[in-house]
Amino acid sequence: MTNIDTQIGGSKRNFPKTSWTLILNAKDKNGENYKESLEYLVSSYWKPVYTYMRIVWHMSNEDAKDLTQEFFANFIESEALKTLRTDKAKFRTFVIVVLKHFLLNKKRSEFSQKRGGGQVKFSFDDVEVQPEDPKSSEPSDIFEREWAKTVIENSLNILKRTLDEEGKGSHYKVLEIYTNRDDANPQTYSSVALELGLKKSDVRNYLVYTRDKLRLIMTNEISKYVADSSQVQEELLYIMRVITVGFKSSR
């Protein structure tokens, strides 16, 4: 698989727990939280967009970085979010459809220039978003997996920061060691307890605590991208399916 070598889009910020707030704030150019919300969206979706360009369109590291920057600049300048209907598809589906249109128009523009024609201007007006199929084998699965990984990574970063602030850094260490096990060298409560100098019961309790907290954090993260709170559980399950399929296909 192509080596995805970029650190851009790594750091994230925490936001209020209001459902769909992030998207609505980013749509309102004159709103108080417009800039912060837009920056968070770009940061959250930078890596999935970049990865899609690298793997699906076979771009070099630098070309993918440059075009990803161009995509988001176009996305912001064109105010693409104004075309998003919150009663339709999920936000990530909107992004991948807009990205596909952008790349196709980019190719048409290059072809037109080679033939001596003018540049094709990209428009978001004709973008039609269709519901996604988590079982599909389309190239967009790459985008979906990277998006799911980004949600999990953001949530883990928030969890670690929260536990450190609570003085419970050892709780995160238990989760990190236990979940990073592999089939050849599986971790057990006893092995983790021995490695960290804890009681076996502590390991069990720490895992319950961190997993519950992580689920709440992931729920909060997902709620920023859905219009209806009833979709949060559906998205949680979707993330697990995407990650599981991606993990099995990479083995």
**Better-predicted residue by pLDDT, 97 or 14:** 97
Spatial distance between the Cα atoms of 226 and 234, rounded to a whole number of angstroms: 10
User: Dihedral angle at the C-alpha atoms of 212, 214, 216, 222, nearest 10 degrees?
Assistant: -150
Dihedral class, residue 28 (left if φ above 0, else alpha if ψ from -120 to 50, else beta): beta
Enter the tokens of residue 163: 């536990």
Say what percent of the chain tops pLDDT 90.
21
Mean pLDDT along residues 209-219: 92
pLDDT category at 126 given cuts 50, 70, 90 is very low
pLDDT band at 132; cut points 50, 70, 90: very low
For residue 193, what pLDDT band results from cuts at 50, 70 and 90? Answer: very high
List of residues 6+ apart from 41 with CB closer than 8 A: 22, 23, 26
- Provide the token pair at 7: 């650190």
* Rounded-to-integer distance, Cα 149 and Cα 47, Å: 10
Q: Are 231 and 22 in contact (CB under 8 A)?
A: no
Between 108 and 139, residue with greater pLDDT: 108
User: Which amino acid is residue 40, in one-letter code?
Assistant: Y
Measured CA to CA in angstroms, residue 146 lies from 23, 47, 141, 161, 212 at distances of 20, 7, 9, 22, 23
Rounded to an integer, the average pLDDT of 109-131 is 47
Q: Residues 143-172: what's their mean pLDDT?
A: 92
**What pLDDT shows up at residue 79?**
74
Q: Which of 105-109, 129-133, 174-178, 220-224 has the lowest mean pLDDT?
A: 129-133
At residue 168 the predicted structure's pLDDT band, cuts being 50, 70 and 90, is very high
Given a cut of 70, is residue 138 above it in pLDDT? no
Amino acid letter, 199: K
The H helix count followed by the E strand count for the chain is: 9, 0
Summarised one tens digit per residue, pLDDT across range 79-98 is 777 777 766 567 888 888 88
The C-alpha R_g of the chain, in whole angstroms, comes to: 20
Task: From residue 57, give the alpha-carbon distance in Å to each of 52, 106, 228.
Answer: 7, 12, 33
- φ/ψ of residue 62, rounded to 5: -70, -40
Q: Yes or no: say if 143 and 96 are a contact pair by the CB < 8 Å rule.
A: yes
Overall residue count recorded for the chain in this entry: 251
Q: What is the mean pLDDT of the chain?
A: 76
Look at 178 and 29; give whichever has higher pLDDT: 178
* Phi, then psi, of 83 in degrees rounded to 5: -85, -5
